[in-house]
Amino acid sequence: MLNVHLIPHTHDDVGWLKTVDQYYYGDRNDIQHAGVQYILDSVVDQLLKNPDRRFIYVETAFFYRWWRQQSSDMQQTVKQLVNQGRLEFVNGGWCMSDEATTHYSAVIDQMTMGLRFLNETFGTCGRPRVAWHIDPFGHAREHASMFAQMGYDGFFFGRLDYQDRSHRMVGKDQELLWRASDSLAPPVADLFTGILPNGYNPPEGFCWDQSCDDPPIRDDPDLEDYNVDDVVNRFLAIANSQALVYKTNHIVMTMGSDFQYENANLWYKNLDKLIRYVNARQANGTKVNVLYSTPSCYLQELHQANLTWALKADDFFPYADNAHNFWTGYFTSRPALKRYERLSNSHLQTCNQLEVLGGAVSRKGPFGDGDSQTMKKAMAVAQHHDAVSGTEKQHVANDYARRLATGWRRCQVVVSNSLAALSGSSAERVYCDNLNISVCPLTESSNKFSVNVYNPLARPVTWPVRLPVNGTAYTISDANGKLVDCQVVPVSNATRQVRKHRGFAINELVFQVQAPPLGYSTYSVSLLQKGPPPASTQRRPPPAIQNKFLRVTFDPDTGLLSSLSNLETKQTIKLTQNFYWYNASDGNNSDSNQMSGAYIFRPNSSTPFVISSTAKTESLQTPVVQEVRQWFGPWVSQVVRLHGDSRALELEWTVGPLPIDDSLGKEVITRLDTSIKSSGVFYTDSNGREVLQRRKDFRPTWTLKQTEPIAGNYYPINSRAYIKDDVDQLTVVTDRSQGGGSIHNGSLEIMLHRRLLYDDVRGVGEPLNETSAVFPEGLVVRGRLLLALNLPASAADTHRPLAQEEVLQPLLTFTDGELHPNAKLEFSGLQAALPPAVHLLTLTQWDRDSVLLRLEHQYQTWESKQHAHPVTVNLQKLFSTLEVLGVSELNLSANQWKEEMTRFEWTPQTGEKPLPKRPGDPSIWEVTLTPMQIRTFLLRVSRR
């Protein structure tokens, strides 16, 4: 008997063509008819009418809004439906996150938030057993690893490369076991993965939503157009044909789609009939049984089949739905929003930590009432697969950014209250969010101020600070009163152009600060009346700039980089870097009419246009910082910057407004060309964690027919990418998610900005053509790449901490005037720095007396002789101001006790048995982390 599991579902984007609130209320139906509150109303009503009916719900951001508006009677009814398994939550995060452009820490946070609500509202019956990513545009290995560690039994998705699908259909491998880590011992990161047959839509001809026009089942023989036999025959044909490409006698059909079930009666009335009439045929000998089902019921049947499954160890990028349609543009789309989201994550983690360290006064203190919850929700919504991905309409992108800004304002109150409590000074604190364009009204006008540097990392950090000033000389003293080297340099023309009328500083004050782990240090700055003049710039590039670690040379004729040397390891590579643009396809092409758009990258030619083969330069050489400022044209400039004691070279790029007066869409890249013999191989990270090998024109699990030589070789770069040979490794650490590739040997290219004139016909209905009030001519984007040259065996020892510093940056706050004489100028929330291999991923208030702590081993097993070993941390000796009274370990998403988490076991076709469990911790307080392991603890604490 073939069992057909019908899964009634709705796919509710947490923002896309409309904002999240417009979708919830059903507002702006002129854009798209969709109202989530009515969907939930209607589904619950219809479930009650027939106990056989089932429904699954996914997006907790919407369900939470709806739940709060229900009467207690209705809440009881819904709890009953959940307890009976008739309404089942799947996935259960705040949203269905994007997989290419999200950072793992923000994904863990949004999943934790959604699952916590379900846990506290419905208990164990509300806990989703299945991860469900039916719409994201390609699938990341790190997501599968996280889902496995969150306790999911399996994972279903809808989209994969068209060639990959054809190949899997032939081998009946559309259901497989995904081994999602090369460092965690199986089956810790193994995840059963199923690929749905129709994306997430119903089979053709069987859509009975009000948004569809398929004929209903007309089953009264006395009325016109009786069609039961026709419907049943068509259904049996589809079911039998689908069964040929799946392994078991159970198959699945998704009965629903975007924002469907607003009038659930239409769907359920026809599904009831479909089930009845198809099953009635069994009396005549058909071997098809149809039932209402859910993903977890279907998964249970697959598990009971007791088969072996193909093993996969790579990922599902890039995704193409046809020969010329690679969804690799969104890796870079809306670069300013992508950076703002990453910065907001850093702000949120700092806010969470200071809420814990400052205690109750941080939420209610001298600066008023603050909260971290608003920012948590804003960040959670931003992880959605049409948010940080850049694939939403412009007004929706604006809404995501506005939410983040509102959340940060609420968090600033928490931060100010907490720092006041920790330092004993309640002087007003000022936040300067536009320091990257040299804007900060306080530092521009004040003769005496202090800078508080809070470091959210669990190890001390050294960080370069640049403040906009109008004086020419300053003295700076640290928390111990010691003088700090500093330098005044002129603001560059590029910065003046990009900041416009928002700031008026003529100079920048540059110095290095140091801050203790999970703590702050305070620096006092005073204007000198009679000091040396600011550093002056030279018109031509110097032959080289260098510090004690790095040396960089420039070509005197072109002004471009020519080499990079690591002075510690005595390595040198040839290195040139320049900016180019691909001409975006407008769809008028004999191969295909596909245009480049928010989702899809499709260049007209494999050869990009160089913006300028030479750069006009100005250079600055001071003991604190050395800069070569390169000007490539009116819309591209860069600063090559080397700080006094940095092991990384900084490239600060400014791109925009991209000119479109020639009616050509532009996709701007920077390309690094080196002497490294990389043989078509490069490496990218997955969601900021494990690194995967990429090979040009190659896919590990099938023989690729390459049809787009550039776009088909682009991969998501979340925090780093590198190329290497036997002797040299060049790693690029990015400040946001970007797309990139290695198209030529020894070369690495990264897409920085895109501006397009056509919609790519994937539903967003708008060209990606960003402008703003400040930049009506087109968006200007600024960012930085950090370059490190190392020996391949030890490169991770540099790039791991470097990337963590980029993600969790120190937060600067400013206070005008003299410091309070008794103020505490330095503080660390830790008794000692954590070992170098350990990263403190989460420290956040859970409830009144407990905090959630996540510790992570940040190295893969193979990438560091020095650090890729187990490390033990004592939880009682962790915090300086908190006493840990009790500890319980949770799963990654903090919705199950670790010892109670059990998952289905699956057997790969290789037939291996799971490895024996590793030895436990030395004691309840001493916890051991193995490479790439994240451990989550609920700590009961009191203040010392």
Tens digit of pLDDT for each residue in 104-160? 999 999 999 999 999 999 999 999 999 999 999 999 999 999 999 999 999 999 999
Written as six digits, the tokens of 373 are 């919850």
pLDDT of amino acid 722: 98
Q: Tell which residue, 366, 382, 365, has the closest CA to residue 374.
A: 382
Tens digit of pLDDT for each residue in 53-65? 999 999 999 999 9
Tens digit of pLDDT for each residue in 12-28? 999 999 999 999 999 99
Band (916; pLDDT cuts 50, 70, 90): low
Q: Tell which residue, 236, 248, 219, 222, has the closest CA to residue 281.
A: 236
In contact, 722 and 732? CB cutoff 8 Å: yes
Band (885; pLDDT cuts 50, 70, 90): very high
Residues forming beta bridges with residue 312, ordered by sequence position: 178
Helix (H) or strand (E) holding 47: helix 36-47
- The catalytic residue positions are 135
**Is 80 exceeded by the pLDDT of residue 781?**
yes
Q: Per residue in 693-721, is it b (16+ CB within 10 Å) or e — as a string?
A: ebebeebebbebeebbebbbbbbbbbbbb
**Is 80 exceeded by the pLDDT of residue 913?**
no
Band (820; pLDDT cuts 50, 70, 90): confident
pLDDT of amino acid 912: 73
Tens digit of pLDDT for each residue in 437-453? 999 999 999 999 999 99
Tens digit of pLDDT for each residue in 458-509? 999 999 999 999 999 999 999 999 999 999 999 999 999 999 999 999 999 9
In contact, 561 and 578? CB cutoff 8 Å: no
Q: Which is it for strands 175-179 and 154-157: parallel, antiparallel or unpaired?
A: unpaired
Span 932-944, mean pLDDT?
97
Distance of CA 283 to the CA centre of its chain: 53
Q: CB atoms < 10 A from the CB of 189, how many?
A: 24
Residues forming beta bridges with residue 322, ordered by sequence position: 325
pLDDT of amino acid 279: 98
CA distance 810 to 205: 56
Written as six digits, the tokens of 827 are 């503080």
**Is 80 exceeded by the pLDDT of residue 646?**
yes
Band (914; pLDDT cuts 50, 70, 90): low
Dihedral in degrees, nearest 10, Cα atoms 17, 22, 28, 34 = 70
Span 270-294, mean pLDDT?
98
**Is 70 exceeded by the pLDDT of residue 915?**
no
Measure the CA angle with vertex 903, ends 6 and 300; round to 5°: 25
3-state SS, 565-615, equals: EECCCCEEEEEEEEEEEEEECECCCCCCCCECCCCCCCECCCCCEECCCCC
Span 353-366, mean pLDDT?
97
CA distance 436 to 459: 24
Dihedral in degrees, nearest 10, Cα atoms 318, 324, 328, 330 = -140
Q: In the chain, what percentage of residues exceed pLDDT 90? A: 96
Q: In the chain, what percentage of residues exceed pLDDT 70? A: 99
Written as six digits, the tokens of 656 are 């925009």
Band (728; pLDDT cuts 50, 70, 90): very high
**Is 90 exceeded by the pLDDT of residue 525?**
yes
